[in-house]
Amino acid sequence: MERVRDNENVPQEGIEKKPELKRFKKIGGGSFILKGKMIKPGQVFLADPNDIPVAFRDTVLAVDGNVNFDKHLVTKASPPPPGPKDVKKAVYEARQRTGSQWWDIYREGEEKPINEKGMTKEKAEAMIQSLME
């Protein structure tokens, strides 16, 4: 059996790099938890830049120079903008109250009138015309 010396003939693809720790200072108000430790305002701490929560990346300053966060971790997928809604025009009808001269306006499929007080047939038809526009 042959022994391997000093990592020769060992594939390097499966070996993960250790995260590069940088010094940061928390500015602004509020605290956040990073790997089980509370980071308070004004505190200097060591961390991998990509371990800092996205919401708090604007409240930390790199003490050791500039730090570039991974772009795929910074941006979140935003939901698509709402499209135009299918607007269905309401259909109204005028019905005469039972045994009365007054008329009420109803939406299609509903049994409760939309007006509180009864109105004449002419006013009811005019109101329906204004609602349909």
Q: Where are the domains of the chain?
A: 22-66, 92-132
- Looking at residue 74, its pLDDT comes to 39
Distance CA 24, CA 28 (A): 13
Confidence class for position 13, pLDDT limits 50, 70, 90: low
- Identity (one letter) of the amino acid at 88? K
pTM above 0.75, yes or no: no
Distance CA 114, CA 116 (A): 7
- 8 Å CB contact between 104 and 95: yes
Distance CA 1, CA 4 (A): 10
